[in-house]
């Protein structure tokens, strides 16, 4: 590969370099395409750092003022789309700083005092993940609200409960949906645990060994809403377990959504007929005019693959990295951004789909009575009313089920005398438990 000879090596770190990086080197090295999403956090981090430097007398107040004004301008430029991101400036940190220099001149060079891109990026990334957790938490709450409303509405609507996907016992749709509420509430608490653990500020760790300037790490930590500075500078710049934890919380939440999606897919089949998705949350087939496909549910299920992949990706990136910062860590952002995007989309799609779906409760009730689902209740009746040991009650019930099966009828369609033929102490009261209606 041809080297590009020129005197214009990188102005941020190029002091000892004579040549520009080769084009492919620039390509593999640049992360701006991905990490520009950190711009808000990068500017917030720089502002806090700048204010602290001035307050500590490390840089003149007048320069700090210029820097802050310049950063505000950059913020507006990025917000309005007027900012040009440049690949040759590698990443978000150097893009912002280079622009700052264009705006305010040499004072810009003082912002990076007592700081390295290593603690800068670690700080930005924590800020970003923290915001992401807050956004996802709101979306999870929205979805649990929807599920809670539906569970309340269908509190008494019977449906078959399954084990092994075989009709097991009657449950209610309310009970079924409540299970998902619980899963999502655990997801919420997982995100909040992750947030509490990661809320420490790496700023001041500098490259890895801290810095000789009289910085005030507590001040920057506080200004950025962190609980405290990270305790170890070497860990501060190289730890990414917070991001892996975030990815696990996303993956697990995605698994919960995927399980619910799978049920919706099953329930919306003609065979089940439990739920009808609205037109706005399904698609048609280009060849089969009768079809209405649950694509949103399938995509929620399908996108779980990305969530899992992203977690494994970041775990693998971290594996065997010696302390402290290594450029491998630049690979940490893409999986995190992707999981955030994927999960927030999935949570919103699930909510929209559920809110507009209609449940066929009559069909569910009918299905709840298929497959002798009240057999366990019959056995429990024998135990509670007649004092028969459960194992024996189970056996008696099995015989009665077999009888109904041979006759091709439901349990409550058997005559009392037929059941008494199996256990003579059975009374009319048994019919109380054989129908599904009262769950
Ligand atoms: N873009 C880099 C990253 O995301 C910033 C830190 C670069 N540090 C360095 N020592 N080259 O990891």
3-state per-residue secondary structure call for 192-236: HHHHHHHCEECCCCCCCCCCCCCCCHHHHHHHCCCCEECCCHHHH
Over 60: is that where the pLDDT of 202 sits?
Answer: yes
Residue whose Cα lies nearest atom 12 of ligand 1: it is 330
- CB of 267 sitting under 6 A from ligand 1: no
Over 70: is that where the pLDDT of 406 sits?
Answer: yes
- Of the chain, the percentage scoring pLDDT greater than 70 comes to 98
- CB of 313 sitting under 6 A from ligand 1: no
Please compute the mean of the pLDDT values over residues 158-187 and round it to a whole number: 97
Q: At 282, is the secondary structure helix, strand, or coil?
A: coil
| Residue ranges of domains in the chain, CATH in brackets | 20-113 (1.10.275.10), 118-156+169-210+228-360 (1.20.200.10), 367-432 (1.10.40.30)
- CB of 248 sitting under 6 A from ligand 1: no
Q: What is the dihedral of CA 122, 124, 130, 133, to 10 degrees?
A: -100
Check residue 8 and give its pLDDT: 60
Residue whose Cα lies nearest atom 2 of ligand 1: it is 330
Q: Model confidence over 1-40: pLDDT tens digits?
A: 444 444 467 777 788 888 888 999 999 999 999 999 999 9
- CB of 237 sitting under 6 A from ligand 1: no
- CB of 317 sitting under 6 A from ligand 1: no
The mean predicted confidence, pLDDT, of the chain is 95
Kindly state the DSSP code that residue 269 receives in the 8-state scheme.
S
- CB of 78 sitting under 6 A from ligand 1: no
Residue 288's pLDDT band (cuts 50, 70, 90): confident
Residue 124's pLDDT band (cuts 50, 70, 90): very high
Residue whose Cα lies nearest atom 11 of ligand 1: it is 327
* Lowest-pLDDT range of 7-16, 53-62, 105-114: 7-16
Greater confidence, 14 or 208? 208
Tell me which of 12, 46, 121 to substitute to probe ligand 1's pocket, judged by most ligand atoms within 8 Å of the beta carbon: 121
Check residue 290 and give its pLDDT: 81
- CB of 31 sitting under 6 A from ligand 1: yes
Ligand 1 atom nearest 327 alpha carbon: 12
Q: Model confidence over 84-97: pLDDT tens digits?
A: 999 999 999 999 99
Over 50: is that where the pLDDT of 316 sits?
Answer: yes
Q: What is the dihedral of CA 263, 265, 267, 270, to 10 degrees?
A: -160
What are the beta bridge partners of residue 293? 283
Ligand 1 atom nearest 333 alpha carbon: 4
Q: Model confidence over 381-394: pLDDT tens digits?
A: 999 999 999 999 99
| Angstrom distance (rounded) from CA 100 to CA 260 | 49
Q: How far is the CA of 118 from the centre of ligand 1 (A)?
A: 6
The pTM (predicted TM-score) of the whole model is 0.94
Cα–Cα distances in Å, from 289 out to 12, 103, 244, 295, 353?
Answer: 61, 61, 45, 16, 22
Residue whose Cα lies nearest atom 10 of ligand 1: it is 118
- Of the chain, the percentage scoring pLDDT greater than 90 comes to 90
| Angstrom distance (rounded) from CA 181 to CA 271 | 26
Q: Model confidence over 333-382: pLDDT tens digits?
A: 999 999 999 999 999 999 999 999 999 999 999 999 899 999 999 999 99
- For residue 120, what are its two tokens? 């800068």
- For residue 431, what are its two tokens? 């019919």
């Amino acid at each position: 590969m041809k080297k590009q000879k020129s005197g214009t090596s990188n102005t941020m770190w190029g002091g000892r370099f004579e040549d520009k990086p080769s084009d492919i080197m620039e390509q593999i090295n640049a992360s701006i395409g991905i990490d520009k999403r950190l711009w808000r956090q990068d500017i917030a981090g720089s502002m806090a750092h700048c204010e602290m430097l001035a307050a500590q007398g490390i840089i003149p107040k007048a320069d700090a003022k210029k820097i802050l004004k310049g950063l505000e301008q950059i913020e507006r430029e990025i917000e309005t789309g007027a900012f040009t991101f440049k690949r040759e400036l590698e990443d978000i940190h150097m893009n912002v700083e280079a622009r700052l220099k264009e705006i305010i001149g040499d004072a810009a060079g003082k912002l990076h005092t007592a700081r390295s891109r290593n603690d800068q990026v670690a700080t930005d990334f924590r800020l970003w993940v923290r915001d992401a957790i807050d956004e996802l938490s709101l979306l999870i709450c929205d979805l649990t609200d929807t599920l809670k409303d539906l569970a309340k509405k269908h509190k008494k609507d019977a449906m078959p409960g399954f084990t092994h996907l075989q009709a097991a016992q009657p449950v209610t749709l309310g009970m079924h949906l409540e299970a998902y509420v619980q899963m999502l509430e655990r997801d919420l608490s997982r995100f909040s645990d992750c947030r509490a653990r990661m809320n420490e500020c790496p700023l001041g760790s500098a490259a890895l060994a801290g810095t000789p300037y009289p910085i005030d790490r507590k001040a920057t930590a506080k200004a950025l809403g962190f609980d405290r500075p990270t305790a170890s500078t070497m860990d501060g710049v190289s730890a990414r377990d917070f991001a892996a934890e975030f990815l696990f919380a996303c993956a697990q939440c995605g698994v919960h959504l995927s399980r619910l999606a799978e049920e919706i897919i099953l329930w919306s089949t003609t065979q089940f007929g439990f739920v009808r998705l609205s037109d706005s949350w399904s698609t048609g087939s280009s060849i089969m005019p009768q079809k209405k496909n649950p694509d949103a549910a399938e995509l929620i299920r399908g996108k779980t693959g990305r969530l899992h992949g992203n977690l494994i990706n970041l775990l693998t990136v971290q594996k065997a990295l010696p302390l402290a910062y290594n450029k491998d860590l630049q690979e940490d952002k893409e999986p995190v951004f992707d999981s955030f995007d994927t999960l927030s989309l999935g949570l919103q799609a699930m909510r929209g789909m559920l809110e507009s779906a209609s449940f066929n409760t009559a069909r569910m009730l009918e299905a709840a009575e298929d497959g002798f689902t009240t057999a366990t209740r019959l056995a429990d009746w024998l135990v509670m009313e007649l004092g028969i040991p459960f194992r024996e009650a189970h056996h008696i019930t099995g015989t009665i089920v077999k009888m109904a099966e041979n006759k091709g009828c439901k349990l409550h369609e058997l005559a009392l005398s037929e059941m008494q033929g199996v256990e003579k102490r059975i009374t009319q009261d048994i019919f109380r438990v054989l129908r599904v209606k009262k769950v």
